[in-house]
Structure 1
């Protein structure tokens, strides 16, 4: 009996009032049971953990608004000219090719298009992520060996 025939049997049992069906052919035996009034149970294959930022506690006292707003404006103006290198896939982010090896790039390093900046492991495959821009690494946004999502910012580069 092939898989398609088994699928057809399951469909027929589901549509009928039959609670159990057993079939034996030579060395092959199959039993299909239908449970009453219970929702179907589905199994989902294991996947890589999804990054969920921890909830942040509310500040105890309200902060004065004038000082942070004044400080934020120069930072925003400076951040406007930065380019973000984003993750092209879901996986685990690694800054170096191995635990005892130096990082591909550090803050202050110059990058050019085609230079490897990190590795993302997805399903036991190690994918080298290359820079698409020229400039200087200003900030590394992800910790080593952390899970990353598709399109998650990894590095900030000053062109």
Structure 2
């Protein structure tokens, strides 16, 4: 009887915990967006060719997230994206070697770099400033005389030579 009562109380705690977690999720104003693991783009996967060396594969994909002592001929690239209001997205790519040579690869269809940036970026609501000066704006700044600038530079260099001891003894 006592065991049945304890089991009932524990089951009630689990339900209360789920309800409390749901309420806390509803009240949470901000959850940080998290990208974990090695991002691998579809462009990187397209660059892989059977017969490549491990070094060439590492140059394209980066260091693998998972490399096992028990599976020395397999590298795993895994990354997840967690955003507020969106179910977590998980991607996996397995790369298989025969000795030091790439044999094959398999995994999920990877997003392109543009798709990845679009998924993790927020909509920006600002105007991009013009980065070119008009003729009127340039006219406000007088052109510098090249000979005058050269003479000023040589005078300041002479002053610096007198202010610091020489690095090497005179010959």
- Structures share fold, TM-score greater than 0.5: no
Query: Counting helix residues as a fraction of each chain, which structure ranks higher?
Result: 2
Which has the larger Rg? 2
TM-score scaled by length of structure 1: 0.20
Structure with more contact order per residue of length (Cα contacts < 8 Å, sep ≥ 6): 1
